[in-house]
Amino acid sequence: MPGWLKNAVFYEIYPQSFQDSNGDGIGDFQGIIDRLDYVKELGCNAIWMNPCFDSPFTDAGYDIRDYYKAAPRYGTNEDLKRLFREVHKRDMHLILDLVPGHTSYDCQWFRESMRAEKNEYTHRYIWSNNIWENFDGVNNISGSIRGISDRNGSCATNFFSTQPALNYGFAHPDREWQFAPDSPEAMATRQAMKDVMEFWLQLGCDGFRVDMAASLVKGDEDGSANIALWQDIRAFLDKKYPQAAIISEWGQPDQSLKGGFHMDFLLHFGPSRYLDLFRGEHPYFSREGKGNIKAFADKYQEYVDSTKGEGLICIPSSNHDMPRLGGQLDEAEIKLVFAFLMSMPGAPFVYYGDEIGMKYQKGLHSVEGGYDRTGSRTPMQWNRSLNAGFSSAAPGMLYIPLDPDENRPTAKDQISREGSLWREVQKLIRIRQAHPALQSLAPLHILYAKENEYPFVYLREDEKERILVVLNPSGRDVTCRLEFESLGEVIYSNHGIPAYENGEWKIPAASAAFIKI
């Protein structure tokens, strides 16, 4: 594992919404460079930047036209190289968002594959042999493109109809046009993606977050074919770029980590029970105290057991695909969320703006394929100047409208206010970095996670220290029985610390505490 991941705290930057440096209403590379000191001051030492490659932006850049070219609206390849250098000058790392499963319909690869004459790209995508044959019921194929070229066949798509699926083969090919994952046709696609990765690693990036990583090989119900594919890519990276990190959008660490990923996200879809924590009808971290931590804790423990502690399971505050924390929780509740995030194993991920409590904006018109996700992608709120400091453009030119609330939180206000959410996040990151037992690799032992009960208690430990984490997000005092009758130094507390009374521990309402034992 790359050594820098052991204490990494990531900050996710949605480039079009972070900082506009040239007044066109869209964020860019120079804007990110201008704000790197802010990210570092917060305490984050790594950045995940969402897609920045050339694209027609029908899906916010997840529809790539040219894997080897930065999107001109953000800058040039040279500008991106300079961003890498500026990140490294600050002893930070930056990973790019890689989209290996599909391209834009406007990609040159796809245009060549549409030709009736056979060529190098004929099998770069998944095509049936007949225009009347599509892909109904095939795992990891969402639809098809048909009738747009002289080639006789339908082309499989991922997600949007503007995203033709690249051909990595079928786990169980049973038709003439389906290739095995180790066929020359599928392996050519795999090599093309290795070439893309190598290009950007040579320019200075530190690795990749991989979009829809479990979906490359089609018809792969048990994940084994995709696991084998990624094991091959991991071997390539280990040989040539051992400090390059790969992080998967997979959502099943028992599969993704076996496939060679260093980390996997817990996602808002799939079996992880992530939504039980901060979203849904009764979030566990709401003061109403009607949440249930047990299903999440049981699933998390299952993942830890199945992976034998190898690799990292990461929990994001939010991301560009889900409602923000500020959609349901207030500032005091979000502070407890960050106490949880900064004390769990794996690398924490802070979505830009979550550290100041930016809110999800309901009812926005879809922008670049965002649909209901658009409300989580609004411009970063830096200060109280024009456009909240995001851009000097006329307000109507902004990529997505700002939060219209005149009392919207800003980074400047939060940094200057004692006891703000931003300051609490900064404090928690500093505490995490000061204690290896709270960092990515130290084991976790869940001590108290009862059905429909509070608190949530777990132990983090390494060779030098043991730290008990006690979280009671509910708005009432609660009690629990633990094996300890006394505790040591309190290294962090928010709203009180546990007290031992009559054989039980009393945990104050809406509190978090980290205590040495």
Q: For residue 172, what are its two tokens?
A: 């169980």
How far from each other are the two terminal CA atoms of the chain, in whole angstroms?
Answer: 29
Question: Which long-range contacts link 450-458 to residues 24+ away (Cβ below 8 Å)?
Answer: 450/293, 450/294, 450/480, 451/292, 451/294, 452/290, 452/292, 452/294, 453/293, 453/294, 453/478, 453/480, 454/289, 454/293, 454/478, 454/507, 455/480, 455/507, 456/284, 456/293, 456/297, 456/340, 457/482
Q: Which residue carries 């299903």 as its tokens?
A: 295
* C-alpha to C-alpha distance for 464 and 453, rounded to whole angstroms: 32
Question: Model confidence over 60-78: pLDDT tens digits?
Answer: 999 999 999 999 999 999 9
Q: Which CATH superfamily is domain 102-167 in?
A: Oligo-1,6-glucosidase; Domain 2 (3.90.400.10)
Instruction: Annotate 367-416 with DSSP letters as a single string.
Output: -TT-GGGGGGSPPP---SSGGGGS-SS-GGGSSSPPP--TT---HHHHHH
Question: Model confidence over 82-120: pLDDT tens digits?
Answer: 999 999 999 999 999 999 999 999 999 999 999 999 999
* C-alpha to C-alpha distance for 32 and 279, rounded to whole angstroms: 29
Mean pLDDT of 376-386: 98
Give domain limits for the chain.
3-101+185-434, 102-167, 444-516
pLDDT surpasses 80 at 309: no
* C-alpha to C-alpha distance for 42 and 37, rounded to whole angstroms: 9
For residue 267, what pLDDT is reported?
A: 86
Q: Which residue carries 């808002």 as its tokens?
A: 268
Query: What confidence tier does 204 reach under pLDDT thresholds 50, 70, 90?
Result: very high
**Are 42 and 11 within 8 A, CB to CB?**
yes
Closest among 282, 471, 253 to 347, alpha carbons compared = 253
pLDDT surpasses 80 at 472: yes
pLDDT surpasses 90 at 502: no
Burial 475-502 (b: 16+ CB within 10 A, else e): eeebebebeeeebeeebbbbebbbeeee
* Residue 214 DSSP one-character state: G
* C-alpha to C-alpha distance for 400 and 409, rounded to whole angstroms: 17
Burial 303-333 (b: 16+ CB within 10 A, else e): bbeebeeebbbbbbbbbbbbbbbbbbbebeb
Q: Does the predicted TM-score (pTM) go above 0.95? A: yes
* C-alpha to C-alpha distance for 226 and 245, rounded to whole angstroms: 18
**Are 468 and 457 within 8 A, CB to CB?**
yes
Backbone angles phi, psi at 284, to 5 degrees: -60, -30
Query: What confidence tier does 312 reach under pLDDT thresholds 50, 70, 90?
Result: confident
Instruction: Annotate 427-496 with DSSP letters as a single string.
Output: HHHHHHHH-GGGSTTS-EEEEE--TT---EEEEEE-SS-EEEEEEE-SSS-EEE--S-S----EEEEES-
Q: What percent of the chain has pLDDT over 90?
A: 93
**Are 465 and 516 within 8 A, CB to CB?**
yes
Neighbours of 275 (CB within 10 A): 17
Backbone angles phi, psi at 42, to 5 degrees: -60, -35
For residue 311, what pLDDT is reported?
A: 78
Q: Torsion angle of alpha carbons 444, 450, 452, 456, nearest 10°?
A: -40
Question: Model confidence over 315-363: pLDDT tens digits?
Answer: 999 999 999 998 789 999 999 999 999 999 999 999 999 999 999 999 9
Examine domains 3-101+185-434 and 102-167 and report if their fold is the same.
Answer: no
**Are 505 and 499 within 8 A, CB to CB?**
yes
Quickly count helices (H) and strands (E) in the chain.
Answer: 12, 20
Residues 6+ apart with CB under 8 A from 348: 9, 10, 314, 315, 316, 317, 341, 342, 432
Q: What is the mean pLDDT of the chain?
A: 96
For residue 210, what pLDDT is reported?
A: 98
Q: For residue 26, what are its two tokens?
A: 């869209």
For residue 138, what pLDDT is reported?
A: 84
* C-alpha to C-alpha distance for 16 and 148, rounded to whole angstroms: 31
Question: Model confidence over 138-160: pLDDT tens digits?
Answer: 888 999 999 999 999 999 999 89
* C-alpha to C-alpha distance for 375 and 402, rounded to whole angstroms: 10
For residue 139, what pLDDT is reported?
A: 81
- 444-516 adopts what CATH topology? Immunoglobulin-like (2.60.40)
Query: What confidence tier does 268 reach under pLDDT thresholds 50, 70, 90?
Result: confident
Query: What confidence tier does 269 reach under pLDDT thresholds 50, 70, 90?
Result: confident
pLDDT surpasses 80 at 80: yes
The yes/no answer on whether domain 3-101+185-434 falls in CATH 3.20.20.80 is yes
**Are 319 and 269 within 8 A, CB to CB?**
no
Instruction: Return the bridge partners of 501, or none.
Output: 504
**Residue 515 to residues 189, 197, 478, Cα–Cα distance (Å):** 51, 43, 18
Closest among 391, 404, 411 to 73, alpha carbons compared = 391
**Residue 387 to residues 360, 380, 390, Cα–Cα distance (Å):** 17, 9, 6
Q: For residue 405, what are its two tokens?
A: 């609330």
